[in-house]
Amino acid sequence: MTCEEDGPRVATRRGLLAGAGATAATAAGAGLAAPAGAAPRRRRADVVVVGAGLSGLIAARDVAAAGRSVLVVEASGRVGGRVRNVSIGGGEVVEGGAEYIGPTQSRMAALAAQLGVATFPAYNTGSNLYVREGRVTPYDALGLPPDPEGLPDAGGAIAKLDALAAEVDLDAPWRSPRAREWDAQTLETWLLANTTTASGRLLLDVAVTSVFSFEPRELSLLFVLFYIRAAGDQRRPGSLVRLISVAGGAQERRFAGGSQRIPLALAERLGRRRLILDAPVRRIAQSGSGVRLEAGDTVVRGRQVIVALPTTLAGRIAYAPALPARRDQLTQRLPCGSVIKVHAVYDRPFWRDAGLTGQIVSDAGPARVSFDNSPPRGRRGVLMAFIEASDARAYAGRPQALRAAALENFSTAFGARAARPRRFLITDWDAEPYSRGGPVGCAGPGVLTGFGAALRRPVGRIHWAGTDTATHWNGYMEGALRAGERAAREALRAL
């Protein structure tokens, strides 16, 4: 949920599909209920897509483009899933969820171009700030944090991780030559064995939590290596540096008008008639002749179904017949990360006057990593921070405490002016009823080797999409898009 925490004021919510009045909150209260007496509405299509996030919408686009009928069923009152614009007033928006595009994300680049959504570079001019034990040290935005002890240590570990990642089998990480060894340990175990300094560990911890929204102790080394490898292409192999970078990295460019313009444009082209909002899917039954979904007050029938949800949420649907054991147990083992995104909105991006980018790397939470997320024309200044993993848990349900703590982090870095934003917006993905975390399902030790084979394997007429299932830019919009395209191909072949 996104709320505005401005002193003691009450949270507000925003539905963002034009014309759709219901918000996620309404859907959670009403949509989950079984139809009360009234006969259900009935719909039918060749392919039914569950989830109107980027992955589901792309799958639906491809099914429709192949001349087959398609319906997209969405639990909340809007499209976009974890891609969501949030208003900051004055007709401007920021992204509450996924927002960037960077090198090697070729399908997203093509899609944005096709839909006429322009991109612009994330603000990255001047100096970043490294905050350590209260001391603030600027460093060039194209350079690295000025930590003479920690930097070589962290850099060495990152180079090793990148080299190991190159050995991972992207399609089947569990078949990589050293899969058994890598999936038996946490990333933290590996980091302890491959770093020597507290500063190096700090830099790595901040990098890891900002990428995964998990602590290093929660992650399988194999999964981390897979994720790194997936963040590249054949010419430019995946690297942890690309994942954490602005220039040349995953945070390089933004979308004019906010990233949700992409799913909104997709939904518009798909057409309102192909979209069923406020309809949480409770049950998917399949038989020899087709599938039958119970979704809100609607019964939808089809021949194939594409489930484009986080794996953990897909496990909350009742299936008949029941899912195979390995698939069901996978859904018990691929949790979403813990992440809250905060935006402090100012009259203007005043830090730029001091030659600062707005980016920090800090040893003090909850705002350990920040970015300048101002609208492109600079009519407002916006500092954005990710509140990750244990920080997100510590501040869950405590918007005023989070506001105070994050603004203290901003003030330490950018001065007293940062303490008095016009607005302070909190988007808590862990509390979002139809996301329950973000950005992606991550695997702890033993999950990929034990259950990975069930990640994409269709179950009869059911095909699995969502960025969880991607082999290229897993966890990103690029991954969601590619997974949706792959699932659409599967479903079309099966028709």
- 294 near a second copy, judged by CB under 8 A: yes
User: Is 197 within 8 Å of 153 (Cβ atoms)?
Assistant: yes
Q: Return the number of the residue (152 or 324) whose C-beta is nearest a second copy.
A: 324
Separation of alpha carbons 277 and 296, rounded Å: 9
Q: Looking at 56-64, 97-105, 107-115, 391-399, which segment touches a second copy (CB under 8 A)?
A: 391-399
- Binds a second copy (CB under 8 A): choice among 44, 269, 282, 423: 282
- 290 near a second copy, judged by CB under 8 A: no
Q: Looking at 142-150, 252-260, 268-276, 324-332, which segment touches a second copy (CB under 8 A)?
A: 324-332
Binding residues among 417-476 for a second copy as defined by CB under 8 A: 428, 430-431, 433, 436-437, 444-447, 449-451
Q: Return the number of the residue (24 or 112) whose C-beta is nearest a second copy.
A: 24
Task: Give, rounded to a whole angstrom, the gap between the first and last alpha carbons of the chain.
Answer: 37
**What are 285's strand-pairing partners?**
292, 320
Q: Return the number of the residue (103 or 280) whose C-beta is nearest a second copy.
A: 280
Query: Residue 194 Cβ, how far from a second copy at the closest point, in Å?
Result: 14
Q: Looking at 140-148, 150-158, 309-317, 458-466, which segment touches a second copy (CB under 8 A)?
A: 309-317
Q: Provide the pairing of β-strand 92-95 with 135-140.
A: unpaired
Binding residues among 29-68 for a second copy as defined by CB under 8 A: 29, 32-35, 37, 39
User: Is 285 within 8 Å of 291 (Cβ atoms)?
Assistant: yes
- 280 near a second copy, judged by CB under 8 A: yes
**SS3 state at 33:** coil
Percentages of the chain per state (helix, strand, coil), in multiples of 5: 35, 25, 40
- 201 near a second copy, judged by CB under 8 A: no
- 223 near a second copy, judged by CB under 8 A: no
Query: Residue 168 Cβ, how far from a second copy at the closest point, in Å?
Result: 17
- 217 near a second copy, judged by CB under 8 A: yes
Phi, psi angles (nearest 5°) of residue 350: -60, -25
- 283 near a second copy, judged by CB under 8 A: yes
- 401 near a second copy, judged by CB under 8 A: no
- Cα 306–Cα 332–Cα 95 angle in degrees, nearest 5: 60
Closest CA to 280 of 324, 328, 318, 333: 318
Q: Provide the pairing of β-strand 92-95 with 85-89.
A: antiparallel
- 8 near a second copy, judged by CB under 8 A: no
**DSSP letter at 39?**
P
List, as one string, the DSSP characters of 276-331.
E-S--EEEEEE-SS-EEEEETTEEEEEEEEEE-S-HHHHTTSEEESPPPHHHHHHH
Q: Return the number of the residue (4 or 188) whose C-beta is nearest a second copy.
A: 188
- 336 near a second copy, judged by CB under 8 A: yes
**What are 286's strand-pairing partners?**
291
User: Is 54 within 8 Å of 262 (Cβ atoms)?
Assistant: yes
- Binds a second copy (CB under 8 A): choice among 7, 397, 416, 493: 397
Query: Residue 315 Cβ, how far from a second copy at the closest point, in Å?
Result: 7
- 185 near a second copy, judged by CB under 8 A: yes
Interior/surface letters 445-476, b for 16+ CB within 10 angstroms, e for the rest: bebbbbbbebbbebbbbbbbbbbbbbbbbbbb
- Cα 338–Cα 51–Cα 3 angle in degrees, nearest 5: 45
- Binds a second copy (CB under 8 A): choice among 80, 150, 335, 399: 335
Closest CA to 293 of 77, 465, 492, 44: 44
Closest CA to 47 of 323, 455, 461: 461
Query: Residue 356 Cβ, how far from a second copy at the closest point, in Å?
Result: 32
- Binds a second copy (CB under 8 A): choice among 218, 252, 391, 468: 218
Query: Residue 126 Cβ, how far from a second copy at the closest point, in Å?
Result: 36
Query: Residue 272 Cβ, how far from a second copy at the closest point, in Å?
Result: 26
- 390 near a second copy, judged by CB under 8 A: yes
Separation of alpha carbons 99 and 438, rounded Å: 13
- 391 near a second copy, judged by CB under 8 A: no
Q: How many residues bind a second copy (CB under 8 A)?
A: 61
Q: Return the number of the residue (179 or 207) whose C-beta is nearest a second copy.
A: 179
Query: Residue 365 Cβ, how far from a second copy at the closest point, in Å?
Result: 14
Q: Looking at 6-14, 226-234, 328-336, 376-384, which segment touches a second copy (CB under 8 A)?
A: 328-336
Closest CA to 250 of 260, 258, 240: 240
Separation of alpha carbons 462 and 468, rounded Å: 16
Binding residues among 111-170 for a second copy as defined by CB under 8 A: none
Contact positions toward a second copy, by CB under 8 A? Answer: 28-29, 32-35, 37, 39, 183-186, 188-189, 192, 214-218, 280, 282-283, 294, 312, 315-316, 318, 320-322, 324-326, 328-329, 332-336, 338, 389-390, 392-393, 396-397, 428, 430-431, 433, 436-437, 444-447, 449-451
